[in-house]
């Protein structure tokens, strides 16, 4: 069937009666009702996915890629209602790097995963032996996705898993269940039955996903604390793991950088998705010689970027997705204020405004050990820290246990690369931050997780390496 409206999407995924109500974080209005999965529902989904995987694994890469492209076609055909539902449930605006961008990324990511070549790799081939590395399906992949990019991160998990011959049982975040159910409903119009099953379970029921002996691989994006629990749970079954966990990304502006050309990129590196991105710029270190110049340049961009209800075509920033995250941001900004920092913009949410809106906030003259710098805020707040010595800035950037992304900003690419080599992170960008690409592997360092996603490395991460050696 075709999906031409949000009502048609909701009709396909809502229970006939009951369910859990989900509200718009921008307005407080009811968006819809999500089904409530039981332990029996989860087990049934795993059993169905296990049965379907046998036939799916027998298909060639070309056949599986064709299905992924058909699923991408289906997403593009339903792009506008998907984006509207996402905006209403998650809160992000339609325009800018937000809801329409995310839905478009879902289709693009599927097409990219369909296109990557995967061939056996010849390890040794001499007069005595030929040894090849093949990449076989693992089986059933358990995919657990977060609420900040609910559709796109789900695709990051689903696309490579399906391409490599696995089936997927997916557990979405409770506050963005409808978006993920709708995306799967659209894709399943193009996919064979039971390859992709979304189970709208609570955390207690969902925890059984990482304990099931029928799950061969767990992919999780979320907090470090939950990632540790999943790793412990999966140990008993020796399930493979890809964990993309919390980040408190640092950026360093090198002395003499022409910030006039980079202020917009710095701003969106920090404030994309209203700051609710694991690999967003969370703390910026600027040399004292141009500290105020950088602050003013970022402030100028921030003041001109509208925040409001996502369905308003003019807005580019939205609310925080849930109350608990709002309270985290509020606590950390208050800690900065109490520590003597200067709140140059924002920091004073309107008491009578509906929704979880926290104003765009720029904080200066802040100590590196202030909680707003030391902890991940995951919201529309950027602390800008002054440094006088580059070695000190690098030490500060590396001084916490997270290591997802980082960035260096400079007119001198060679100098920037030398600094990048000293940063402890899975990815370091030069003159940008958080710019992901389906061709380029992505993963964390330290407590930001392990395992790679994207590119052929991401495909291999959801496959079983299989060495075949032939004696001549």
Active site residues: 244, 278
Phi and psi torsions of 242, nearest 5°: -125, 120
Neighbours of 297 (CB within 10 A): 19
Burial tier of 243 (Cβ tally within 10 Å: 0-12, 13-18, 19+): buried
* Whole-angstrom distance, CA of residue 444 vs CA of residue 148: 18
Cα angle value 8/9/13 (rounded, 5°): 115
* Whole-angstrom distance, CA of residue 404 vs CA of residue 354: 33
Burial tier of 450 (Cβ tally within 10 Å: 0-12, 13-18, 19+): middle
Helical pair 79-90 and 177-188, crossing angle rounded to 10 deg: 160
- If you ran DSSP here, which 8-state letter would residue 165 be given? T
Whole-Å CA distances, 5 to 10, 130, 179, 329, 430: 9, 56, 13, 34, 41
Q: DSSP labels for 94-147?
A: SSSSSHHHHHHHHHHHHHHHHH----PEEEEESSSEEEEEEEEE-SEEEEE--S
């Amino acid at each position: 069937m075709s999906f031409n409206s949000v009502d048609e999407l909701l009709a396909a995924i809502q229970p006939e009666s009951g369910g859990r109500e989900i509200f718009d974080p921008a307005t407080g209005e009811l968006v819809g009702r999500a089904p409530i999965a039981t332990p029996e529902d989860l087990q049934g989904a795993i059993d169905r996915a296990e049965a379907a995987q046998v036939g799916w694994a027998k298909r060639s890469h070309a056949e599986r890629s064709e299905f992924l492209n058909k699923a991408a076609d289906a997403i593009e055909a339903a792009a506008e209602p998907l984006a509207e539902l996402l905006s209403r449930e998650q809160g992000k605006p339609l325009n800018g790097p937000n809801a329409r961008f995310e839905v478009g990324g879902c289709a693009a990511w599927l097409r990219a995963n369909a296109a990557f070549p995967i061939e056996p790799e010849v390890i040794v081939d001499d007069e005595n032996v030929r040894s090849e590395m093949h990449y076989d399906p693992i089986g059933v992949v358990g995919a657990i996705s977060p609420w900040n990019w609910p559709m796109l991160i789900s695709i990051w998990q689903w696309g490579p898993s399906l391409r490599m011959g696995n089936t997927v049982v997916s557990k979405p975040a409770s506050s963005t269940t409808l978006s993920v159910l709708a995306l799967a409903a659209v894709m399943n119009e193009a996919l064979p039955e039971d390859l992709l099953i979304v189970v709208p379970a609570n955390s207690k029921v969902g925890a059984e996903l990482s304990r099931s002996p029928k799950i061969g691989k767990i992919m999780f994006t979320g907090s470090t604390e939950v990632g540790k629990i999943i790793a412990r749970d999966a140990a008993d079954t020796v399930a493979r793991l890809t964990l993309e966990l919390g980040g408190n990304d640092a950026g360093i502006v090198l002395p003499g950088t022409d910030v006039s050309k980079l202020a917009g990129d710095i701003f969106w590196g920090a404030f994309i998705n209203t700051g609710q991105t694991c690999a967003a710029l969370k703390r910026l270190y600027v040399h004292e010689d141009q500290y105020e110049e950088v602050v003013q340049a970022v402030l100028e961009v921030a003041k001109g970027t509208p925040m409001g209800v996502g369905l308003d075509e003019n807005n580019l920033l939205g609310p925080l997705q849930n109350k608990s995250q709002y309270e985290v941001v509020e606590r950390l900004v208050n800690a900065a204020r109490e520590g003597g920092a200067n709140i140059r913009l924002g920091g004073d949410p309107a008491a009578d405004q509906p929704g979880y809106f926290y104003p765009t906030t720029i904080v200066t003259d802040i100590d590196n050990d202030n909680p707003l710098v030391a902890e991940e805020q995951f919201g529309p707040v950027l602390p800008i820290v002054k440094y006088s010595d580059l070695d000190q800035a690098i030490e500060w950037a590396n001084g916490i246990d997270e290591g997802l992304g980082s960035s260096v900003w400079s007119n001198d690419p060679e100098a920037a690369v030398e600094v990048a080599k000293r940063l402890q992170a899975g990815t370091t960008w030069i003159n940008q931050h958080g710019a992901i690409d389906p061709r380029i592997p992505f993963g964390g360092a330290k407590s930001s997780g392990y395992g790679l996603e994207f590119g052929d490395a991401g495909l291999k991460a959801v496959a079983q390496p299989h060495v075949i050696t032939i004696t001549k």
